[in-house]
Amino acid sequence: MAFEEYDDYEQEQLVKEWLNKNWLTIVAGIALGIGGLWGYGQWQVSQSNNIKAAAEEFVQIEQLLSLGELTEAEKMIADYEAQYGSNIYVVKARLMAAGKLVEQDKIAEAKVQYQTLIDAKPEKSIAEMARLRLARLLVSEGDYTAALTHLDKVQSQAYQTIVEEVVGDVFLAQGELNKAKDAYQLALNEGEGYSGRQIVEMKLADVKAAK
């Protein structure tokens, strides 16, 4: 199974989590925007040049990543972060870079991307997404203790289906079939709408057959 196979599901959960936490801020922002539109307009003009430059540089990073120029992309990501801070563009760039590194079987370097993102202390839901992906890589290398440590720090309900699946993978690799079965079953119980549901069902069936 590709490590980035569930990207769409993870990112959908990320958006849901963010909207759930920030809906009041959004509504308040709209209300303030209506009342203070003219004052905001001046601030918007003053920020537009920086925003445009940041967006243009991110496009260049995307192009490098799409071409597989990972060394140059990493240098540009680091420079970008130093100039603009750890914004959403940096988050997306590091996630993209990690995915490309996994495709090239550069697991150690991919882990660095995820750990760097976690260490930057982004919003909780973003850090948890990075921890999930890092945990999968750690499981693939047999570093089960480190994988479980990261999974324990993923608390958002939106990600619990994936957490239980990966926990099941750890138990299966360790020969703990009963624990693996329970984890996969819990993933299915919590995973309505989960894009990887059929895969979890197959894992559960295999565990039951092996007992």
Say if residues 157 and 148 touch (Cβ distance below 8 Å).
no
- Is residue 129 exposed (0-12), middle (13-18) or buried (19+ Cβ within 10 Å)? buried
> For residue range 120-131, what is the model confidence (pLDDT) as tens digits?
888 888 899 999
pLDDT given at position 41: 46
Q: Rank 29-43, 153-167, 183-197 by mean pLDDT and report only the highest.
A: 153-167
> For residue range 33-62, what is the model confidence (pLDDT) as tens digits?
444 444 444 435 445 667 778 888 889 999
pLDDT given at position 47: 53
Which of 21-30, 43-52, 148-157 has the least mean pLDDT?
A: 21-30
CATH code for the domain defined by 10-17+44-143:
1.25.40.10
Most distant pair of Cα atoms in the chain: their distance: 69
Tell me the mean pLDDT in the region 155-165. 90
